A and B are shown apart, each in its own frame.
Chain A
Amino acid sequence: MTLFRILAAVVVIGLTGAILYDLRRQRSGGRNFWEFISTQTGIALDLWRERRRLGPGSTLDNLRRMAYGLSVAFFLLLGLTGFLPVLILGDRLSGTLLIVHVTVAPLFALCLCALALLWAHRLRFDEEDWQFVLEPAHRKAPRLERRVRLALKVGFWLVLLFSLPLMGSIILSLFPLFGTEGETLLIRVHGYSALLFLAASIAEIHLTILYVQQISKKSSGEIPS
């Protein structure tokens, strides 16, 4: 548990630091923190207004957005309830936090499943991605949007990949298949895969925001399409 706590702290601090660094890099140019927040909020509002102006999307689009939104919300809740007692208290998950965690977990699994089914095709690796990876010539002067989109796809598939041991370890522990040592191992697998899942998910969310910002800037003419 101590090693896990240390690793979890390192991952969380590292992620936080990386995101803060990226945000700082984005707001370089003399803007202070509050101006940056104000700008980001403005972009989000513009996107929302644009979405409203375009009218309601197709059912599938709405489902996609809902699946994504719910997944993020449930993920944040699970991440908080799962890692808070470990990082802050150095203790196992128990009590109210445990009740919230086990209640939200199946819903999150459902959303993750919907996410996989609804976004797998859209975020599949296409020919351009393969060329970007396999042919060095295509990596010269690529657009930021292009790199972000590729990273987004990689992040998505990593999230799905890490969700397998995350769910699998808990499924196995719920049946009388393993003794105490096995249960301890499964809990450990769940913890470490949750850590990897956390890292991939946080990165994915950050990249998604970044990508949406790039799209927004392109449509407003800030950057050439």
Chain B
Amino acid sequence: MTRIAGISFLVMILLSLPGLGQAPENIGDIPDGNRTIPLHLLKLYDEFDHLIRPDEKPVMPFSPKQTCRKCHDYERIRRGWHFNAADSVPPGRPGEPWVLVDALAVTQIPLSYRPWGGTYRPGSVGLTTFGFLSIFGRHLPGGGVGEGEAMQDLGDYMRWQVSGTLVINCQSCHNGDPAQSQSEYGVQVLRQNFRWAGTASSGFATVQGSAVEMPDNFDLYSAVPPERSGFLPPTVMYNASRFDPSSRVLFTVPRRMPHIQCDFCHSSKVIDPSAGQRWQEEEDVHIAAGMTCADCHRNGLDHMMIRGYAREAGETGNPAAAEFTCEGCHCGVEGAQVPVEGRRGAPRPQHAGIPPVHFEKLTCTACHSGPWPAAKTFRVKTSRAHALGIPRADKSDDALPHIVTPVFARQEDGTYAPHDLLWPAFWARERAGELVPIPPERVRPVVKEVLQRDTSRIIGRWPVLTDQEVLEVLRRLTAVDSVSGKAVYVSGGKVLFDDGEGILRRREDRAAMPTLWPIAHDVRPKSKSLGARGCDDCHSTDSPFHFGTVAVASPFVATRDSVTHMTDYQDITRVSAWIFSMSFLFRPGLKWLIIVCFVLVAAVVLISAVRGLGHLIQILAAGEE
């Protein structure tokens, strides 16, 4: 007995030593090699790391950060690509910016915390991080500026206290429960229910009320109702049946997330009048083949998603990224020690008859991605720009912002790729040669005052402007604040300004240039790629690739239907493109001409050679005799 007690005591001492007998930190980040997913039967913790019991009063929303970080290195994950826009990281290839739209202020301006060309920092249009989240957080997975205290504006301090921080909602990507609702997440964020958004989207809790309607002195824990009756404070009610006796909830966390999880934020709708109904559309060929987004856009614990473009490996210093480009999967990586092509059964393309120069001047996406180009670009709506998936989002085809696609433009590395394109439209002050945007809320009352028409009914569309109306707005804006610089209006690729003599002038300016970002989806199959029907798909005098027109989005009557040419975004002039394409008109005939000439020359050479051989034989025979 004494021995047993002694051994027990010794075991207790050993177990109490750090590192022994306790679960190691980040246990979820250290796989043991077993290919199954550990059962995620988890206790929930709120933002203050208190355990949540559904029968508590008041019951708090659970914090995905506090709940998931018990096993996963949250600090490492939060530096991932989806969350690090405001961090000092290389921006990489330009991506889709956020677009601040204010129809009444006739504004659509691209914003990004990443220093992508053609975009503006949200702060430059008067958007604090809180304001940014209130508008765009609906399609953000949280983290980043949602919890970056260093970037919070002091004026928003009380609102942050009311709403809470928008931590990373791991469930946005990793919850395989069919009840997971990213749409509900977006709705909650739009209500500024930041600390409740993750809970509301989980599928086992309901959140009512709205933080945006709460006063600055709203107390999260107080049982006192808000002063304004009729406004419900944010409250959460858990589905008690989802909790086991230990207050644990089962989370469904599959290893391969289905593509629909990504689709909420990464969907697009091309407005093509000639296209059939939705059931007639084709999805991305990779999805149709059973792949998921994460099969190509992989990441490790650091959540640095592979974006999949050709230069990524060099720019990010991650050589593994080269394996997950189009070329990497389908053709392999040059110099790789181990063959990497054929991932997920990726077929090797033959590209029969295509001169190799195409693969130096074009990206794979130029021929294989996006909608089949037409004579004029299409409008496209995207999740992030048009709030697709959010209830009561504007479903009309001409909802702002106006983005057009596909635009075959030259990238920085000299290759051509299909792009989405946005024409910025905003009011600005000219200061030391720079254009500084004026926050739309300052322009809105001026525009409303100037426009004679009832602008209160505009839903997602901007009013039609005349030159006189713009002049009047510019004068009023300049009069309001002449110190900050002369007011100008950027729209349709031009800067409009008052020349001082009552005439509205237009000039070129870098700030007015359109913002472009490459697209890579949906990928079309081989039979629907450019060139599948022959060289004429691109090399004809009316091919959209060179001779398509790019619609210019503009609120002006006169320039409403104006267009630019595709060659304006390429390093070839329209004339030389036309001349080169013209040569293809005669190509079939010239091909046969060369064949005939070849046959004749070969015949002459062959006949002469045979004769010469015959003569040689005779000489040798005569020599013998």
Q: Residues of A at under 8 Å CB distance from B?
A: 92, 94-96, 98-99, 102-103, 105-106, 109-110, 112-113, 116-117, 120, 124-125, 130, 134, 157, 160-161, 163-164, 167-168, 170-171, 173-180, 183-184, 187
Residue of A nearest to B605 (CB): A160
Question: What is the CB-to-nearest-CB distance from A175 to chain B, in angstroms, rounded to a whole number?
Answer: 6
CB-nearest residue of chain A to B607 = A120
- Taking a contact as CB atoms under 8 Å apart, the answer to whether A110 and B593 are in contact is yes
Q: Tell me the chain B residues, 593-625 only, with Cβ under 8 Å from chain A.
A: 593-598, 600-602, 604-605, 608, 611-612, 615-616, 619
Tell me the bound Cα distance from A142 to B579 in angstroms.
54
CA distance A116 to B596 in the complex (A): 13
Nearest CB to that of B361 among chain A residues?
A: A94
CB of B583 closer than 8 Å to a CB of A: yes
**Once the chains bind, are B357 and A164 in contact (CB under 8 Å)?**
no
- Complexed CA–CA distance, A215 and B597 (Å): 32
Residues on A with beta carbons closer than 8 Å to the beta carbon of B357: 92, 94
Are A112's CB and B355's CB within 8 A? no
B467 at interface (Cβ–Cβ under 8 A)?
no
Cβ distance B366 to chain A, nearest Cβ, rounded Å: 16
Closest to A120 in B: B604
Q: What residues on A are CB-neighbors of B593 within 8 Å? A: 106, 109-110
Given contacts A96-B576, A180-B351, A183-B356, contact A160 B601 (CB under 8 A): yes
Cβ-based interface call for B5 (8 A): no
A187 touches B355 (CB 8 A): yes
Smallest CB-CB A-B distances: 8 pairs = A176-B353, A113-B597, A109-B597, A179-B350, A176-B352, A106-B590, A116-B604, A167-B598
Q: Which of A102, A113, A176, A179 contacts B601 (CB 8 A)?
A: A113
Shortest A71–chain B CB gap in Å is 12
Q: A112-B601, A183-B353 are in contact. List 11 more A-B contacts (CB 8 A).
A: A92-B360, A94-B357, A110-B593, A116-B604, A117-B604, A160-B605, A167-B598, A179-B349, A179-B350, A180-B349, A183-B356
Q: Is the CB of B356 within 8 A of A116?
A: no
How long is the Cα–Cα vector from A99 to B587 in the complex, in angstroms?
12
Known: A110-B597, A117-B604, A187-B356. A174 touches B612 (CB 8 A): no
Across-interface contacts of A134 in B (CB, < 8 A): 619
Of A110, A177, A183, the contact of B355 (CB 8 Å cutoff): A183
A-B contact pairs, 14 of them (CB 8 A): A112-B601, A116-B601, A117-B604, A124-B608, A125-B612, A161-B605, A170-B594, A171-B598, A176-B353, A177-B353, A179-B351, A180-B349, A183-B354, A187-B356
Contacts of B576 in A (CB 8 A): 95-96, 99
Q: B3 at the A/B interface (Cβ < 8 Å)?
A: no
What is B's interface to A at a CB cutoff of 8 Å? 349-357, 359-360, 572, 576, 579-580, 583, 587, 590-591, 593-598, 600-602, 604-605, 608, 611-612, 615-616, 619
A113 to B598 alpha-carbon distance, docked (Å)? 7
* Contact A102–B583 (Cβ < 8 Å): yes
Alpha-carbon separation in the docked complex, A20 to B353 (Å): 42
- Report which residue of B349, B353, B579, B605 has the largest number of chain A beta carbons within 10 angstroms of its beta carbon: B353
CA distance A171 to B246 in the complex (A): 77
Q: Are A120 and B608 in contact (CB under 8 A)?
A: yes
CA–CA, A166 to B583, complex, Å? 20
Name the CB-closest residue of A to B580: A99
CB neighbours of A99 from chain B (8 A): 576, 579-580, 583
Chain A contact surface mostly: helix
Residues of A within 8 A of B583 (CB): 99, 102-103
- The 8 Å CB contact of A180, one of B354, B590, B597, is B354
Which of these, A120, A174, A184, A187, contacts B591 with CB under 8 Å? A174
Q: Is the interface of B mostly helix, strand, loop or mixed?
A: helix
Complex Cα gap A109–B596 (Å): 9
Shortest distance in angstroms between A96's beta carbon and chain B's nearest beta carbon?
7
When C-beta atoms are compared, the residue in chain B nearest to A95 turns out to be B576
B355 lies within 8 A of A173 (CB): yes
CB distance from B599 to the nearest CB of A (A): 9
List B contacts of A167 (CB < 8 A). Answer: 594, 597-598, 601
- Rounded to whole angstroms, the CA-CA distance of A190 and B596 in the bound complex is 18
Bound together, the chains give a CA A161 to CA B601 distance in angstroms of 9
Q: Inside 8 A of A157's CB, which chain B residues have their CB?
A: 605, 608
Complex formed: what's the CA distance from A161 to B609 in Å?
10
Q: CB distance A164 to B598 under 8 Å? A: yes
Complex contact B350–A180 (CB within 8 A): yes
A64 to B488 CA separation, bound complex (whole angstroms): 71
Chain A's closest residue to B601 (CB) is A116
A160 CA / B601 CA spacing, docked (Å): 7
Residues from chain A with Cβ under 8 Å of B359 in the complex: 180
Output the nearest chain A residue to B623 by Cβ-Cβ distance: A134
**Nearest CB on B from A121, distance (A):** 9
CB <8 Å contact, B608 and A177: no
> Which residue of chain A has the shortest Cβ distance to B591 in the bound complex?
A174
Query: Quick one: closest A residue to B604, CB to CB?
Result: A116
Residues on A with beta carbons closer than 8 Å to the beta carbon of B352: 176-179
CA distance A168 to B602 in the complex (A): 10
A176 CB, min distance to chain B CBs, angstroms: 3
Residue of B nearest to A113 (CB): B597
Residues of chain A within 8 A of B616, CB atoms compared: 130
- Chain B residues contacting A105 (CB-CB under 8 Å) are 594
User: What is the chain B residue whose CB lies nearest that of A109?
Assistant: B597
Q: In the complex, which residues of chain B have a beta carbon less than 8 angstroms from the beta carbon of A110?
A: 593, 597
Q: Which of A125, A168, A183 contacts B598 (CB 8 A)?
A: A168
Least Cβ–Cβ distance between A105 and chain B, in angstroms: 7
Most chain A CB inside 10 Å of its own CB: which residue of B350, B360, B594, B619:
B594
Closest residue of chain A to B587 (Cβ to Cβ) is: A174
When chains A and B are docked, how far (Å) is the Cα of A184 from the Cα of B356? 6
State the CA gap A124–B356 with chains docked (Å). Answer: 40
Contacts of A102 in B (CB 8 A): 583
User: A116 contacts B600, CB within 8 Å?
Assistant: yes
> In whole angstroms, what is the CA distance A167 to B592 when docked?
12
CB atoms of B356 and A180 under 8 A apart: yes
Closest Cβ neighbor of A184 among chain B residues? B356
On chain B, the residues within 8 Å of A112 by CB distance are 597, 601
- Which residue of the partner chain B has the closest CB to A168? B598
- Report the minimum CB–CB distance from A221 to chain B (whole Å): 36
Q: How far is the CA of A137 from the CA of B448 in the complex (A)?
A: 107
A115–B225 Cα gap in the complex (Å)? Answer: 101
Q: Whole-angstrom distance between the alpha carbons of A180 and B357 in the complex?
A: 10
Task: Give A176 to B597 CA distance when docked, in angstroms.
Answer: 21
> Which residues in A have their C-beta under 8 angstroms from that of B608?
120, 124, 157
Please give me the residue from chain A that is nearest to B603 by CB atom: A116
Complex CA gap A98/B581 in Å reads 12
User: Assuming A116-B600, A160-B601, is B595 touching A171 (CB within 8 A)?
Assistant: yes
Closest residue of chain A to B348, judged by CB?
A179
CB distance from B475 to the nearest CB of A (A): 48
How distant is the Cα of A161 from the Cα of B602 in the complex, in angstroms?
8
Contacts of B580 in A (CB 8 A): 98-99
